[in-house]
Amino acid sequence: MLIVLEGIDGSGKTTVARLVAEALGPDGAVPADKKEVGAVDPATAARAAALRDLVWSSPEAHGDTYGAAHWILLIASWYAGLARLRPELTDADTVTVMDGWYYRNIAKTLIREPLDPHWVESLFAPVPEPALTVLLDVDPEVARSRRGTFKDTELGRWDGFTGPPHEAFRDYQSVVRRALLRMAAERDWLVLVPHPDDPPEHTAAAVVAAVRTLRRTP
């Protein structure tokens, strides 16, 4: 059973995912990193490392040279490989808690260039859908206040957002947020709106309750 925490940059996905995995640990839950392929042979590990570098390292260093279509194809290749190399993601007896899935990548790609949305989504057909996706709907201003520094990919620098970092982050993440809310409505995600003063443990408890309800549902 794959459980995914989704949201804009700075929404608390990583912290909440860790807390959820810890809370569900006695029930057989494990945290997972979407950038890891698990235990594989050396040749596969080397290929995975090369693709991982293309997806997550090169764009930060060299910019979006090849455009959004090239980037989303790389992302889709990574997730297709992940689905093949990590069978626990579709094992009904294992609860895997993931910090983000591919949805934000789709949102950011369609912001960057006017590609065919149906084509972009079709690239992820081999990738399993989570049993539960939880959108942490956090105001971009709140998310911004949590960040000390920003990556270009968090500021929308490739997408025409050229203002000062705090303004670019707010404006770009607002667009991403709207896209994720549309996905949530279309895909029937659980949407949580954490209060800025609430500790992440409160949000994690709500996710844990939803997971346990889902596991009891025949």
Task: Kindly give the residue spans of alpha helices, DSSP state H, lying in 25-162.
Answer: 42-52, 58-62, 68-85, 103-112, 117-122, 140-145, 152-155
pLDDT at position 60 is 54
With a cut of 90, say whether residue 65 has pLDDT above it: no
Question: What is the rounded average pLDDT of the residues 124-148?
Answer: 94
Gap between the Cα atoms of 123 and 21, Å rounded: 29
- The string of DSSP letters for the chain reads -EEEEE-STTSSHHHHHHHHHHHHGGGTEEEE-TT---S--HHHHHHHHHHHIIIIIHHHHH--SS-HHHHHHHHHHHHHHHHHH-GGGG-TT-EEEEE--SHHHHHHHHHHS---HHHHHHTTTTSPPPSEEEEE---HHHHHHT-SS--HHHHTGGGT--S-HHHHHHHHHHHHHHHHHHHHHHHT-EEE---TTS-HHHHHHHHHHHHHHHHH--
Question: What is the rounded average pLDDT of the residues 54-80?
Answer: 81
Question: What is the rounded average pLDDT of the residues 55-70?
Answer: 73
With a cut of 60, say whether residue 164 has pLDDT above it: yes
pLDDT at position 28 is 63
- What average pLDDT does the structure give for the chain? 90
Burial of 93 (0-12, 13-18, 19+ CB in 10 A): exposed
DSSP one-letter code for 129 = P
Gap between the Cα atoms of 122 and 54, Å rounded: 21
pLDDT at position 63 is 60
Q: Are 132 and 92 in contact (CB under 8 A)?
A: no
With a cut of 80, say whether residue 59 has pLDDT above it: no
pLDDT > 70 in the chain, percent = 95
pLDDT at position 153 is 86
pLDDT at position 32 is 82
Q: Please state whether the predicted TM-score (pTM) of the whole model is above 0.85.
A: yes
Range name among 23-27, 59-63, 140-144, 162-166 with the lowest pLDDT average: 59-63
pLDDT > 90 in the chain, percent = 68
The string of pLDDT tens digits covering residues 69-107 is 999 999 999 999 998 998 878 777 788 999 999 999 999
With a cut of 60, say whether residue 202 has pLDDT above it: yes
Higher pLDDT pick, 148 / 178: 178
Buried b (16+ CB within 10 A) or exposed e, 160-174: ebeeebeebbbbbbe
Question: What is the rounded average pLDDT of the residues 54-68?
Answer: 71
Question: What is the rounded average pLDDT of the residues 50-74?
Answer: 80
DSSP helix/strand/coil, 180: helix
With a cut of 80, say whether residue 57 has pLDDT above it: no
Report helix, strand and coil shares of the chain as percent, to nearest 5.
60, 10, 30
pLDDT at position 108 is 93
